[in-house]
A = this chain, B = another copy of it.
């Protein structure tokens, strides 16, 4: 990955306070003991004319990838690896905190990433807690699964 001109880290946090998204989604996975995969994601979506800015963000964090989103015709920078999120993304926003309402999302996000990095999301009780926390985030976002369906899956697990 090309190293761009240094962006001021506070600039990055300001941009993310407006345009960034911290989310935690879930998928049913029969192969997992707990039956549910936890998927944290940090992303920024920008118009094509700001693709260069997105590349600089990519270089700044040194992880993740940029892809084109056909559905909303934007470019999205996204980091999903638990290791990258824990080592690079979360520490940045702890050092250069968000100011707006998104800061609440970030606190939950950081907690989920740390738990997942320690493999605690494979424990049924912790996963239940993670699901409850995640559904407090991004009130305007769309969800593929209802919370009660995820929790029922956990309740029905053979112990």
Instruction: Point out residues on A near B: beta carbons under 8 Å.
Output: 7-19, 46-47, 49-50, 52-53, 56, 96, 99-101
Contact = CB atoms under 8 A, between A and B. Distances in A.
Copies in the complex: 2
A19 B13 CA distance: 13
A8 B10 contact: yes
B19 A99 contact: no
Contacts of A49: 100-101
A46 B99 CA distance: 13
A28 B10 CA distance: 41
Nearest to A18: B18
B11 A50 contact: no
Nearest to A16: B14
Nearest to A97: B11
Nearest to A8: B10
A17 B53 contact: yes
Contacts of A14: 8, 10-18
Contacts of A50: 100-101
